Amino acid sequence: MPIEIKMPALSPTMEEGTLAKWLVKVGDKVSSGDIMAEIETDKATMEFEAVDEGTIVAISVPEGSEGVKVGAVIATLATDDEDAAPVAPKAAAPAPKAEAAPAPAPVAAPAPAPVAAAPKANAEDRVVASPLAKRLAAELGVDLSKVTGTGPNGRIVKADIEAAAGGAVAPSAPAPAAAPAPTAAPAPAAVPDFGIPYEAEKLNNVRKTIARRLTEAKQTIPHIYLTVDVRLDALLELRGELNKALEPQGVKLSVNDLMIKALAKALEIVPKCNVSFAGDELRKYARSDISVAVAAPSGLITPIIVDAGTKSVSHISKEMTALAGKAREGKLQPHEYQGGTASLSNLGMFGIKQFDAVINPPQAMILAVGAGEQRPYVVDGALSVATVMSATGSFDHRAIDGADGAALMQAFKQLVEQPLGLLA
Amino acid sequence: MSEQYDVIILGSGPGGYVAAIRCAQLGLKTAIVERENLGGICLNWGCIPTKALLRSAEVLHNMKHAAAYGLAADNIRADLEAVVKRSRGVAKQLNQGVTHLMKKNKIAVHMGTGVLKGAGKLEVTGDKGTETLTAKHIIVATGARARDLPFAPADGKRVWTYRHAMVPQELPSKLLVIGSGAIGIEFASFYNDMGSEVTVVEMMDRIVPVEDADVSAFLEKALVKQGMTIMTGAGVEKLDVTASGVKAAIKGKDGKVVTSDFSHVIVAVGIVPNTESIGLEALGVKAERGIIAIDDYGRTNVKGLWAIGDVTPGPWLAHKASHEGVIAAESIAKELGNKDVHPHAMDRRNIPGCTYCHPQVASVGLTEAKAKEAGHVVKAGTFPFIGNGKAIALGEPEGFIKTVFDAKTGELLGAHMVGAEVTELIQGYVVGKTLETTEAELMATVFPHPTLSEMMHESVLAAYGRALHI
């Protein structure tokens, strides 16, 4: 019996993904554990392994297909030789809910019999919707590519458009029709073309997610910013000693590793800042999971050091090295970047003196760390030189009062300036 | 010993036997229980044998009008006995067809009267005694029967239901038809063509009241022209059956009661679902006036118990029952773990209705009045048969096709037809409606020439002021 290979849910919340790359082709034999494809979710690219053994007889979703629904059939595997002749993928039903943009036309396998392959561009642009649904969508400003079809084989029908437009649409009410769909993504106004030469690059899923979430954060969260100057001399000295001691173990602590620890500890000291604003309730977290901003080639991503408050700095350092590596390769697993109770962003290595970061919802605070630099510094009434950095906390003012935010910054400053507290 | 099935279907009408076939196709162990004839009313005592009768009437009508086609026919007469015999023969052929389909699909047929005895249990009493069948799912498809007038129950001699009207021993000389729905009008048309003097009494202000008002008006005119007497807004107050006929007191539109003599009466004032004494009450099945409440897939409020066809809310039509049968069968298969079936919800807006009087009536969707009631701003178009070449060639220049669109979205809301062969035409609009067509696709469709179907195109064009041949 041929086995239908379906788009996997690579995280509990994943609904669709991009089939970034096929690593197998029709006719290839695969066995359990072989990597068949790379699948890009909104945050990362993941490898998709074969579970069963057999021969790939059909690939139904071409690589590069975006918005492939979880559960959609992406390939067919024959388990015994009888079935191994390439078969045309089922024309109908790539997914129970194939919809809108996806529903990519099945790619004809390089089969003995020539099978007409739909031109790729067409396949990707095809929206399966009834004539009435298309017309209603245009009138109500509903983006068909964001509508899930409930008709046969996921065809978008009138009822789907009405649902997307928010409730039943009055039948050609004499009054002007309902306002544009509230669910439609906030599309920016068209960018005017001033004739400047440019190259258009299609947004990847990571970039789309960043755009959506940061817009959401800045539009919905009232940010307040609190900045402190922190003297680093003691911390740098301690780091030097620790690294000397840890060298045999192959551990080299970065300043950032110590910042992660300091932030986590500070959150434990001021738990009022370790929260999420959740509409009608405030979530107070019982541990400090620090999301650390990492610049990956595909865009910003924030791997998490879980329970950083109780982990040793060397442990944090090792974990961070591994996570940052994965992040740069786009191989982070969803559980490694989804979650976190507060974030840390460090642009000190670029010489940035101070900056205000945007909160990463549903978290309620993010700490922006600037460069440690030698500055004139007054110690005991006398001017001297010290290594100082500026750190700015951005707080969700709905959840955190200014005084509580200030208390957190104070605790952070103290932990960094008297760093032995980080080790205890 | 009780036999264990996946599905038992109680009733083998067009709902039940189709559900059984679909269940069997999906690999379910299926049984069907029937107390009388496989195929139910539809093909034994309803749709099919009446079409056979009406075909005879149509041929007779054409023979009488042979001269109009340049043909001569003398000594034309109808042999009622032979007409009925042909109709029964057609019914028998189809009944055997259903028997064959049950055998081919390995469906166990239990002849007898079934009564539900708790969840998944059905007791069947037949000629060979009583047996108990059990199943994971049971579909109730027991259909309906004609509604009696309380003051004049049908006796089969002078007062007939559809069932008696189908096997007449003699041609009524003067026939009263009470009710002008599809059944009443079809028999009125048949007996009128056969030579009876026919009067139709309808309580509502127009005949075929579920149809578009334009269709009702047109049909009434056509039937009156054929010699029928039609009384709308009228009611039969009293029927006195005598040895030689029936005295009927009819209250007319003006409120005056007039007593007239008829040889026979056909009562066609609606149907009653067959939901008594099959054990539904004991199971706590939700029903209103005998009509079982179901969801869009045929589920009743009792787990594992389903209902389809005339025991559920209308329209009470064979094709609606069959469609519900397929949906219920697929939903059951899905509940039993079949992941390859994707039953769709029943959409009652797209069920066509056909009446085989002469001229025929066919429709789907909202009438113009109902569309306006629902709040639509309407664009309606009408095209007459007289503007169609094929209709004129056929010698059938009477009738029209009307289409109703939502002015704003172009959604096809309804289509209404009266005239020759329209029962075969309506399906074009039903397909379009099911695909959610707008006027644009219909306008862009090429219709073959010369056919009656060209009027379907013209009607759409007419709704937008673009009809070509008028």
Structure tokens at B309: 């066809």
Chain B residues within 8 A of A131 when measuring between CB atoms: 435-438, 440-441
CB contact under 8 A, B436 and A174: no
A371 burial via Cβ count (<10 Å: 0-12, 13-18, 19+) = middle
Distance CA B161, CA B177 (A): 10
Residue A32: which domain range? 2-109
Structure tokens at B450: 């010369």
Q: Identify the closest residue of chain A to B343 by CA–CA distance.
A: A152
Is the residue at A115 inside a domain?
no
Q: Residue with structure tokens 């979703």?
A: A61
Chain B residues within 8 A of A158 when measuring between CB atoms: 411, 436
In this structure, the answer to whether residues A399 and A253 fall within a common structural domain is yes
Are A338 and A332 a contacting pair, CB within 8 Å? Answer: no
Is the residue at A116 inside a domain?
no
Question: A79 — contact with chain B (CB < 8 Å)?
Answer: no
Question: Of A282, A291, A297, nearest to A338 (Cα)?
Answer: A291
CB contact under 8 A, A135 and B409: yes
Question: Of B18, B9, B23, nearest to B306 (Cα)?
Answer: B9
Q: What is the CATH number of domain B3-145+272-335?
A: 3.50.50.60
Question: Of B323, B402, B398, nearest to B370 (Cα)?
Answer: B402
Amino acid at A202: K
Distance CA A141, CA A30 (A): 45
> Bridge partners of A343?
A291, A366
CB contact under 8 A, B435 and A131: yes
User: How do the domains of chain B map onto residue ranges?
Assistant: 3-145+272-335, 159-269, 359-463
Question: B50 — contact with chain A (CB < 8 Å)?
Answer: no
Structure tokens at A112: 């003995």
Most B-contacting residue of A1, A4, A90, A132 (CB-CB within 10 A), to test interface: A132
ipTM score of complex: 0.78
Q: Do domains B3-145+272-335 and B359-463 have the same CATH topology?
A: no
Number of residues that make up chain B: 470
A16-22 sheet: strands from edge to edge? A45-49, A35-40, A16-22, A65-69
Looking at the 3D structure of chain A, how many domains does it have?
Answer: 3
Chain A residues within 8 A of B407 when measuring between CB atoms: 172
In this structure, the answer to whether residues A97 and A165 fall within a common structural domain is no
- Reply yes or no on domain B159-269 having CATH 3.50.50.60: yes
Q: Report H helices in B26-116.
A: 40-45, 47-64, 80-104
Residue A236: which residues within 8 A CB-CB, separation 6 or more?
A255, A372, A387
Question: Model-level pTM?
Answer: 0.60
Report how far apart, in Å, the C-alpha atoms of B131 and of each of A370, B5, B124, B126 are.
86, 14, 5, 8
Question: Domain holding A287: CATH number?
Answer: 3.30.559.10
Distance CA A370, CA A391 (A): 6
In this structure, the answer to whether residues A172 and A214 fall within a common structural domain is no
A397 tagged catalytic: yes
SS3 at position B109:
strand
SS3 at position A14:
coil
In this structure, the answer to whether residues A271 and A411 fall within a common structural domain is yes
User: Could you say which of B374, B376, B411 has the minimum Cβ distance to residue A132?
Assistant: B411
Question: Domain holding A101: CATH number?
Answer: 2.40.50.100
Chain B residues within 8 A of A139 when measuring between CB atoms: 408-409
In this structure, the answer to whether residues A239 and A342 fall within a common structural domain is yes
In this structure, the answer to whether residues A400 and A326 fall within a common structural domain is yes
Q: Which CATH class is domain B359-463?
A: alpha beta
User: Could you say which of B342, B375, B436 has the minimum Cβ distance to residue A158?
Assistant: B436
pLDDT tens over chain B, length 470 residues: 567 999 999 999 999 999 999 999 999 999 999 999 999 999 899 999 999 999 999 999 999 999 999 999 999 999 999 999 999 999 999 999 999 999 999 999 999 999 999 889 999 999 989 999 999 999 999 999 999 988 888 999 999 999 999 999 999 999 999 999 999 999 999 999 999 999 999 999 999 999 999 999 999 999 999 999 999 999 999 999 988 899 999 999 999 999 999 999 999 999 999 999 999 999 999 999 999 999 999 999 999 999 999 999 999 999 999 999 999 999 999 999 999 999 999 999 999 999 999 999 999 999 999 999 999 999 999 999 999 999 999 999 999 999 999 999 999 999 999 999 999 999 999 999 999 999 999 999 999 999 999 999 999 999 999 999 98
Is the residue at A411 inside a domain?
yes
CB contact under 8 A, B436 and A133: yes
CB contact under 8 A, A132 and B409: yes
Question: Domain holding A181: CATH number?
Answer: 4.10.320.10
Distance CA A222, CA B456 (A): 61
Rg (C-alpha) for chain B, rounded Å, is 24
DSSP-assigned letters across all residues of A282-342: EEE-SS-PEEE-EEETTEEE--EETTTTTS-HHHHHHHHHHHHHHHHHT---HHHHS--SE
